[in-house]
């Protein structure tokens, strides 16, 4: 399953870091963060609990870029 | 400017004023002065310092904030207060500019795609009510007044009007709609009020699909973007280690050689390195260029599904296209009227009246060419002779319209003109009057399109069709297509495209253009699948990589030009930024460029790269 989220991030490098961090979260098959439209697309593993996975994603992203915002 | 940007601006101004005051005011005590310099430094750089600390805590050492913090604190430790504060100040100016410019072009691009309707009108108890289009259920009746956008795809149930499709197609040819016509969302209703029964929910409507597609396009990253992301990952650490080596090795060697180590001087050069270590200019300007290119293309009715496709399009050497519906209109039309006696109009009138009761596509095209309402009272005793044509009494005369076999019944043996299409011979009272040629006509822009494509660098244009050889070759010759394959079944098209894909070189890309209705397998098989005239066709939007919103084949060449221009900007930025950075690193290492030069080069290159990237948005003069 794929879902798109609106995000807020200040620089393109940071968006890249968020993408890498999100990909490493368990339950995420693939992720793509686009800086310009300020959107993040996450592909979840089969049967994953979306809310729980996204909570982890937010944590992981905050770790690499403290100023980022993900609107769930 | 956003709130965040304004705040940064005020901080920059405040810090700059402090700097000027400190430079002007006579402060004799060196210690007091150094403490005072901390004021503008903290005003302008506190967030950088905070992020740097957080970065270290989270194990992100080669973070740009960390590097800026080390460089500026290092400079101040060496007693270079002005430089330390100035570097931080300029860094923030650069960041502010970048964020402003990016926000601006994001806005420009979304303005180009200003097709999203804000509301839908629904009638409740006799008066109109504006509702959120998301809440309108499929099958509801909505009302669109003149000047409003059609919010949801549907069928007109009442009213006639002219609608403007330019927001979707980039072409401002208005279309007339009346009862039972399908209309798609995003078009602007220009003249009359329309009552529309929606056939889709808002989220499945054309407008939502298009917006989603354009927004998601930046998620399919191009090779250049991936290259830069990878490059940035190695560049920053490499420069940092270079800085460390520069700070340690030369003084060590000098010391071992028994000379003064000049540690301060080498550390200063190393700090200059850190200032140049940020790859921002590249990392921001490349996706920005692609975003601009895609936005510019969509304003011209070309939807590109990803930066990777825009990039690949510039390398297209083979263009395979379907004939019907792509190069030709895909509808039958009267292409030629050749009377042997009387005028063209007379011949057309005879044929159209005789065929007026038939619903065959050929009869319809005759009626359409005739253009006027047909007075059926003039026609009687209509008889369809299957496989031959029609006979009828028109204005008291016996008219026969049909093929050679029909003419033979009257003892006429007209010459069969050697042209592709269907020939309708007409005889009146047993006397041959001439013939009409009915054919699938070539689109008016098709010929220039093929020529433009060749100019844009396509080596070979290959046409595929299920039609007969004669028709196919005639069209190919007219358009200047290089290769034709006729009498193909849908499966044959896939096989042929696969053969072509296998025989070409790796870096030469193959694009396939089809009308998207039954070409889905070929569209997805080609390197780049281009669907045309796809307005409202979900299957085509799904299968294709590039969607041409109108039927114009000339748009393919335009798309290639946009792609070339975008890639040109991308390469200019990569080469330009790398060159300036390399030059600064060398000059910095030699001690010829100080921190001032480094920060100017860094911010300057970024400003230039961002400005250059915004050029990709312009497609007017292509």
CA distance A71 to chain B (A): 17
Asked if residue B59 has pLDDT above 90, the reply is no
Q: What is the mean pLDDT of residues B294-307?
A: 86
pLDDT of residue B538: 67
Residue A30 domain-assigned (yes or no): yes
Of how many residues is chain A composed? 72
The CA distance from A68 to A17, in Å, is 11
The CA distance from B84 to B19, in Å, is 11
Q: What is the mean pLDDT of residues B5-9?
A: 90
Residue A72 domain-assigned (yes or no): no
Q: Which of B314, B310, B312, B315 is nearest to B295 (CA)?
A: B310
Residue A58 domain-assigned (yes or no): yes
Q: Mean pLDDT across chain B, nearest whole number?
A: 84
From the list B63, B322, B519, B545, the catalytic residue is B322
Q: How many domains is chain A built from?
A: 1
With pLDDT > 90 as the criterion, what percentage of chain B qualifies? 11
Give residue-wise pLDDT tens across range B334-361: 888 888 878 888 888 888 888 888 777 7
Q: What is the mean pLDDT of residues B299-319?
A: 89
B47 catalytic? Reply is: no
Q: Which domains does chain B have, with CATH numbers?
A: 120-208 (2.70.150.10), 289-328+443-561 (3.40.50.1000), 331-442 (3.40.1110.10)
- B284 vs A32: CB contact, 8 Å cut-off? no
- B219 vs A35: CB contact, 8 Å cut-off? no
pTM: 0.79
- B218 vs A34: CB contact, 8 Å cut-off? yes
CA distances in angstroms from B77 to B38, B85, B171, B585, listed in the order given: 12, 12, 63, 22
Give residue-wise pLDDT tens across range A8-65: 887 777 888 888 899 999 999 999 888 877 888 899 988 888 899 999 999 999 888 8
Secondary structure class of A72 (helix, strand, coil):
coil
* Chain B residue with the nearest C-alpha to that of A67: B51
Say how many CB pairs under 8 Å bridge A and B: 58
Report which DSSP code applies to B373: P
Give residue-wise pLDDT tens across range B404-449: 888 888 888 887 777 777 788 999 888 888 888 888 778 888 888 8
CA B305 to chain centre: 8
CA distance B531 to chain A (A): 25
Cα angle value B469/B473/B478 (rounded, 5°): 155
Residue A44 domain-assigned (yes or no): yes
Give residue-wise pLDDT tens across range B447-462: 888 999 888 889 999 9
Residue A28 domain-assigned (yes or no): yes
- B232 vs A16: CB contact, 8 Å cut-off? yes
CA distance B49 to chain A (A): 13
pLDDT of residue B566: 93
Give residue-wise pLDDT tens across range B64-88: 788 888 888 988 888 888 888 988 9
Domain carrying residue A42: 10-67
Give residue-wise pLDDT tens across range B483-516: 999 888 777 888 888 998 888 888 889 999 987 6
CATH number at residue A49: 3.30.70.100
B446's tokens: 């098709």
pLDDT of residue B172: 63
Q: Which residues of B touch A64 (CB under 8 A)?
A: 58, 60
- A39 vs B54: CB contact, 8 Å cut-off? no
Contact A44, A3 (CB under 8 A): yes
Residue A20 domain-assigned (yes or no): yes
B342's tokens: 């009387």
Give residue-wise pLDDT tens across range B144-198: 988 888 889 899 998 889 888 777 776 666 888 888 888 888 888 888 889 999 9
pLDDT of residue B528: 92
- B232 vs A13: CB contact, 8 Å cut-off? yes
DSSP assignments along B275-332, one per residue: HHT--HHHHHHHHHHHHHHHHHHHHTTEEE--HHHHHHHTTEEEEEEEIIIIIEEEEE
Q: Mean pLDDT across chain A, nearest whole number?
A: 87
The CA distance from B484 to B327, in Å, is 13
Residue A63 domain-assigned (yes or no): yes
Is the Cβ of B51 closer than 8 Å to some Cβ of chain A? yes
CA distance B106 to chain A (A): 7
Residue A1 domain-assigned (yes or no): no
Res. B377 pLDDT band, cuts 50 70 90: confident
Res. B114 pLDDT band, cuts 50 70 90: low
Asked if residue B536 has pLDDT above 60, the reply is no
* Chain A residue with the nearest C-alpha to that of B64: A13
- B221 vs A32: CB contact, 8 Å cut-off? yes
Looking at the partner chain, which of A13, A37, A67 has a beta carbon nearest the beta carbon of B218?
A: A37
């Amino acid at each position: 399953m794929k879902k798109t989220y609106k995000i807020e991030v200040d620089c393109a490098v940071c968006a890249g870091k968020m993408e890498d961090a999100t990909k490493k979260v368990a339950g995420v098959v693939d992720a793509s963060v686009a800086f310009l439209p300020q959107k993040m697309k996450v592909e979840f593993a089969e049967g994953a609990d979306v809310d729980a996975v996204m909570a982890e994603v937010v944590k992981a992203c905050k770790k690499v870029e403290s100023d980022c915002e993900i609107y769930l | 400017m956003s709130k965040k940007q304004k705040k940064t601006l005020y901080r920059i101004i405040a810090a700059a004023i402090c700097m000027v005051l400190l430079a002007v005011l006579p402060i004799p005590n060196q210690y007091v002065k150094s403490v005072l310099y901390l004021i503008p430094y903290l005003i302008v750089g506190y967030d950088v310092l905070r992020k740097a600390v957080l970065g270290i805590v989270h194990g992100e050492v080669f973070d740009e904030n960390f590097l800026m913090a080390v460089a500026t604190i290092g400079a101040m430790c060496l007693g270079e207060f002005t430089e330390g504060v100035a570097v931080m100040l300029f860094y923030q100016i650069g960041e502010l500019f970048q964020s402003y410019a990016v926000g601006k072009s994001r806005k420009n691009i979304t303005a180009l795609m200003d097709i999203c309707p804000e509301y839908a009108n629904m009638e409740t108890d006799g008066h109109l009510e504006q509702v959120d289009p998301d809440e309108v259920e499929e099958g509801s009746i909505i009302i669109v007044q003149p000047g409003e956008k059609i919010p949801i795809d549907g069928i007109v149930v009442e009213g006639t009007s002219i609608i403007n499709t330019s927001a979707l197609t980039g072409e401002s040819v208005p279309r007339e709609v009346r009862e039972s016509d399908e209309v798609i969302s995003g078009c602007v209703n220009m003249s009359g009020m329309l009552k529309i029964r929606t056939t889709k929910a808002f989220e499945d409507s054309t407008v939502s699909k298009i917006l989603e597609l354009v927004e998601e396009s930046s998620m399919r990253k191009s090779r250049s973007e991936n290259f830069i992301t990878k490059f940035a990952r190695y560049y920053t650490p490499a420069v940092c280690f270079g800085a460390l080596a520069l700070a340690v090795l030369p003084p060590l060697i000098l010391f071992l050689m028994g000379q003064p180590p000049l540690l301060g001087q080498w550390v200063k050069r190393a700090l200059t390195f850190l200032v140049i270590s940020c790859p921002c200019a590249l990392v921001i300007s490349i996706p920005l260029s692609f975003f601009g290119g895609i936005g510019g293309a969509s304003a011209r009715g070309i939807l590109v599904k990803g930066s990777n496709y825009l990039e690949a399009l510039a390398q297209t050497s083979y263009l395979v296209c379907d004939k019907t519906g792509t190069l030709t209109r895909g509808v039958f039309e009267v292409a030629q009227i050749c009377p042997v006696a009387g005028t063209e109009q007379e011949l057309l009138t005879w044929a159209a009246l005789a065929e007026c009761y038939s619903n065959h596509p050929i009869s319809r095209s005759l009626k359409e060419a005739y253009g006027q309402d047909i007075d059926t009272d003039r026609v009687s005793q209509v008889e369809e002779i299957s496989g031959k044509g029609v006979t009828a009494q028109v204005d008291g005369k016996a008219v026969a319209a049909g093929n050679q076999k029909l003419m033979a019944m009257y003892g006429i043996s007209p010459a069969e003109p050697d042209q592709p299409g269907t020939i309708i011979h007409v005889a009146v009272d047993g006397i041959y009057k001439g013939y009409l040629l009915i054919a699938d006509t070539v689109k008016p822009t098709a010929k220039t399109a093929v020529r433009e494509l060749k100019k844009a660098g396509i080596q070979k244009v290959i046409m595929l069709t299920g039609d007969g050889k004669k028709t196919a070759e005639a069209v190919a010759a007219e358009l200047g297509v290089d290769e034709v394959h006729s009498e193909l079944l849908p499966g044959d098209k896939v096989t042929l495209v696969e053969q072509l894909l296998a025989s070409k070189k790796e870096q030469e890309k193959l694009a396939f253009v089809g009308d998207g209705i039954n070409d889905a397998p070929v569209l997805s098989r080609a390197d780049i699948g281009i669907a045309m005239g796809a307005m409202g066709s979900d299957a085509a939007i799904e299968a294709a990589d590039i969607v041409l919103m109108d039927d114009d084949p000339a748009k393919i060449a335009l798309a290639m030009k946009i792609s070339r221009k975008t890639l040109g900007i991308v390469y200019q930025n990569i080469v330009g930024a790398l060159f300036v950075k390399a030059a600064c690193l060398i000059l910095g290492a030699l001690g010829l460029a100080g921190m001032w030069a480094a920060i100017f080069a860094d911010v300057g290159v970024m400003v230039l790269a961002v400005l250059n990237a915004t050029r990709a948005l312009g497609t007017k003069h292509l």
